[in-house]
Amino acid sequence: MPDDHRELTLYVQSKRAVTTFYRAPATSPATGIAPSVAAAPSGTNEPDAVADSSVLFLSDDQSRAVAMTEETASRRGYHIRVVDIEKVGRLERLVAEHLRGVQNFPVLISPGGARLEGVPHFTEENLAALMPTELKHVRAFSYLKIRGGDLDRIRRLLETFPEVKELHFLTGDWDMLVVLQFPPSASNKRRVLDFVTERIRGIGEVLDTSTVVPEYSVTKFPLP
């Protein structure tokens, strides 16, 4: 059973369509010949060849939202329960499922009550925010004090390091905040600090650094 805190409910609203299709007469198993049929209803060309049947279908935009939600949930360790409101009692839906006043579907509701309503809001960013997850990579944050010089050159040097994911220029005691990321398979605090002291402080204009390595990290951003 999925963890209740990691199960979200996605409400969709299918449409009903009446389809008309040709139904070939059945053949006799013994003779292989179609049995005789009664006269065709008025307005038809084939006896008993036309049948009407209603079917439920989901619009492409809602289907796309469902696929995107399930894909995001799979990557982030969540379970999605999809409910078609056309297949459940309307009173039960409005009262028990707290969807009173909802006009646009699909609607995604988290265990905490946060929700996304309507196709335009089903973006990767919004889905990730509704399904926070643990970071698999190791992230670190390094403050840099820089001697006056060519900041564009220093920026270009830092951007060449794959481990450098973000650069933030500051005012105050520190001149720059560098966001670092390392693969989980070979990362620990020692490796982070080795990289900072050997590579970043190897840049001549970098006078000092102060690095924070979190013990545990959760993200609401889309995963890379």
**108 located within any domain:** yes
Q: What is the pLDDT of residue 33?
A: 45
- As a whole number of angstroms, the distance between CA 142 and CA 169 comes to 12
Same domain, 115 and 144: no
pLDDT band at 166 (very low <50, low <70, confident <90, very high): very high
Q: Are residues 8 and 111 in the same domain?
A: yes
Clarify whether residues 67 and 158 are in a common domain.
no
**Residue-averaged pLDDT of the chain:** 82
Is 218 a residue whose pLDDT tops 50?
Answer: yes
Percent of the chain with pLDDT over 90: 54
Q: State yes or no: pLDDT of 117 exceeds 90.
A: yes
Same domain membership, residue 112 and residue 79: yes
Domain boundary among 131, 156, 172: 131
Quote the domain boundaries for residue 62: 4-14+57-131
Does some domain include residue 41?
A: no
Give the range with max mean pLDDT: 25-39, 67-81, 136-150: 67-81
Mean pLDDT of 60-78: 96
| Integer Cα distance of 70 and 131 in angstroms | 11
Report the CATH number at residue 65: 3.40.30.10
Select from 99, 131, 163 the last residue of a domain.
131
Q: Are residues 145 and 95 in the same domain?
A: no
List Cα–Cα distances, 115 to 3, 121, 128, 199, in angstroms: 19, 10, 12, 44
111 and 168 part of one domain: no
Query: What is the rounded average pLDDT of the residues 30-53?
Result: 45
Number of domains in the chain: 2
Residue 174 and residue 208 in one domain: yes
The CATH code of the domain that includes 150 is 3.30.70.920
Does a structural domain hold residue 24? no
176-185 confidence digits (pLDDT tens): 999 999 988 7
**One domain, residues 92 and 139:** no
Q: 162 and 125, same structural domain?
A: no
Give the pLDDT score at 222. Answer: 92
Most confident of 34-38, 153-157, 206-210: 206-210
Residues 91 and 181 in one domain: no
Is the pLDDT at 75 greater than 90? The verdict is yes
Predicted local distance difference test score (pLDDT) of residue 99:
77
Q: What percent of the chain has pLDDT over 70?
A: 77
Domain for residue 23, yes or no? Answer: no
pLDDT at residue 52, as a whole number = 52
112 with 202, same domain: the answer is no
Is the pTM for the entire model greater than 0.75? no
